């Protein structure tokens, strides 16, 4: 069986939490796909990185400097990296991104950097490959979703990932895929009923922007790529 794990912000708030996640994931070889939220609160009087990034966007919108906020966010990432002894030069990529910010920067793009940098650090912690949605989801110059290019990218990413699995892991995913589809469909049709499960993984139902239509489109791409389970393991 192949398992997909999702860790909310409080589970990746600092280096100690990263170590706990690493121990949880690596204690079970079937835990091969890991989804990470942005680093959350370390203490009750701390700040979620997501909240700080929203604040940055508000400052940019009204022409107010957000240098101090960005410095605090940068420091959190560097602290996690240093405490874990990782090699990823997070400050270099963070500084390069920060230099591009302006009042025209979209709030979605800016806030997503919390998940991005946290996931980059977690990928190295686990020794796993990092996959960025920006490499798999594309839009045309007119701002419209580019279905053909996105489908091709998802198929390529899936194929590379699947081909690196062992025979047992491939069979595990084939067995799990119908259940994943069933759970996803139930969640997207009734977010309120699934609110408890969403809360468990650090998500808020009213902020879940992935739609049932989006999921159906993903299914159409992945379904033909997943072989039928053989029931061998």
Give the residue extent of every domain in the chain.
1-130
Q: What is the mean pLDDT of the chain?
A: 86
Structure-model confidence comparison of residues 53 and 214, the more confident one: 53
% of the chain at pLDDT higher than 90: 45
Q: In the structure, what pLDDT confidence band is assigned to residue 165 with cuts at 50, 70 and 90?
A: confident
pLDDT for 77 beyond 90: yes
pLDDT for 206 beyond 80: no
Query: What pTM did the predictor assign?
Result: 0.68
Structure-model confidence comparison of residues 111 and 162, the more confident one: 111
Q: In the structure, what pLDDT confidence band is assigned to residue 198 with cuts at 50, 70 and 90?
A: low
DSSP state letters, the chain: --EEEEE-GGGGSSHHHHHHHHHHHHTSTTEEEEEEPPP--SSTTS--HHHHHHHHHHHHHTT---HHHHHHHHHHHHHHHHHHT----HHHHHHHHHTT--TTS-HHHHHHHHHHHHHHHHHHHHTPPP--GGGT--B-TTS-B-HHHHHHHHHHHHHHHHHTS-HHHHHHHHHHHHHHHHHHHHHHH-TTTTHHHHHHTT--GGG----HHHHHHHHHHHGGGSPPP----
Report, at the CATH architecture level, how domain 1-130 is classified: 3-Layer(aba) Sandwich (3.40)
């Amino acid at each position: 069986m192949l398992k997909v794990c999702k860790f909310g912000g409080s589970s990746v708030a600092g280096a100690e939490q990263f170590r706990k996640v690493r121990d949880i994931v690596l204690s079970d070889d079937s835990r091969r796909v890991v989804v990470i939220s942005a680093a959350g609160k370390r203490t009750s009087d701390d700040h979620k990185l997501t909240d700080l990034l929203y604040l940055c966007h508000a400052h940019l919108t009204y022409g107010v400097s957000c240098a101090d906020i960005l410095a605090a966010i940068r420091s959190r990432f560097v602290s996690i990296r240093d405490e874990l002894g990782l090699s990823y030069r997070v400050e270099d990529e963070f500084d390069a991104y920060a230099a591009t910010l302006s009042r025209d920067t979209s709030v979605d793009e800016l806030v997503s950097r919390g998940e991005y940098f946290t996931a980059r650090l977690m990928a190295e912690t686990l020794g796993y490959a990092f996959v960025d949605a920006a490499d798999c989801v594309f839009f045309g110059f007119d701002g419209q979703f580019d279905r053909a290019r996105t489908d091709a990218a998802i198929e390529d990413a899936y194929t590379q990932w699947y081909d690196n699995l062992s025979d047992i892991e491939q069979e595990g995913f084939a067995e799990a895929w119908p259940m994943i589809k069933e759970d996803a469909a139930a969640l997207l049709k009734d977010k309120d009923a699934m609110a408890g499960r969403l809360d468990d993984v650090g998500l808020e139902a009213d902020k879940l922007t992935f739609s049932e239509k989006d999921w159906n489109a993903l299914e159409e791409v992945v379904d033909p790529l997943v072989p039928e389970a053989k029931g061998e393991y």
